[in-house]
Structure 1
Amino acid sequence: MTDTTYIAFLRAVNVGGRTVKMEPLRALFAELGLRDVRSYIQSGNVFFGTDETDRAALTARIEQHLESALGYPVPVMLRTVAEVEELVAADPFAGIEVTPELRLCVVFLSEPLPADYVFPVHSPKGDWDILGATPGAAFVVMHLRNGRLGANPAAAFPKSYGGQGTARFFHTTVKILAAARKS
């Protein structure tokens, strides 16, 4: 079987008092028999190799192990390096001028948004715009107000959305991809 390199985007790691050092986090992934486990920055980005082909089962196994070890749920969005390469190459924010008042975010999704969801979606307060989505990610422009980010754009997902999401700035996603490509 072919070894696939995955990027695990973890939600709720090192926020809200849920602190996890990267060395113990890498060890938890290694305990699952995953190979070449590495991490990038403290916000829950883990790279690993595996020949497992059932992504849903692998995701569930990782989530169960993390919850058991850490004592709280950690939603995991798994993407292959190729999938993140495709996302970055698509340049979902093309034509948007980056300013000090804007942040470009990718929200990695556990489930696709409903097919009838119409883009773009604008927040009532004007603090974010969801420009579009693929089955695995939503593309969000955050508008800073008084130098601060406003509400979480995932709150705009329809009530019928049963999935989870975790956000990364687009420029950070590019850096995560570069780090994941290194062997």
Structure 2
Amino acid sequence: MSMQDSLAPMRPLRVIGANKLIAILNTVRTRMLEWALSLEEEGILGNGLSFSASEKQAAMQSQNIRIENFQGVLGDVVGGSVTQTNAQHIAASDFSSLARHLLARGIHQADIGELEQAVRDDPEPASGKRFGPRVSAWMGKMVGKAASGSWDVTVATASGVLASALSKFYGFG
């Protein structure tokens, strides 16, 4: 509110449609039902709302959780702590290591070829915050692919993956 210089400052507001909240509840309800049915298939039935220690252990060991899109911290939660590993094996000025990294993240070989040409054509950046015009244009194109769904990652993930990888390639990360 203090940043607004107007006669009638407007209170910041985020509106979420009721249909979005209902969709979340329906998704949670469906996942819970699917989980309960998979436990039942494995013979983990419980007694009312409680489970024996052996059933709890069997349920924890049988879990196969698949997360398709995630933004934020991701890792194994063990005893209330989170462990996350994000290994990037990109050597400074080694385009083949950058290419392998990008290929593993779902970027097509043709797009990597375009990046290689852009890296050759652009001057070496002075900092990891600003890349050359051709590399920047390539990044914009790739974020556009993420936004349109032709690269199967979110826009936020796309920009983070590309900026981090290119910073490492240029020796800034």
TM-score, normalised by the number of residues in structure 2: 0.26
Which structure exhibits the higher relative contact order, with contacts defined as CA atoms closer than 8 Å and separated by 6 or more residues?
1
Higher strand share goes to which structure?
1
Higher helix share goes to which structure?
2
TM-score, normalised by the number of residues in structure 1: 0.25
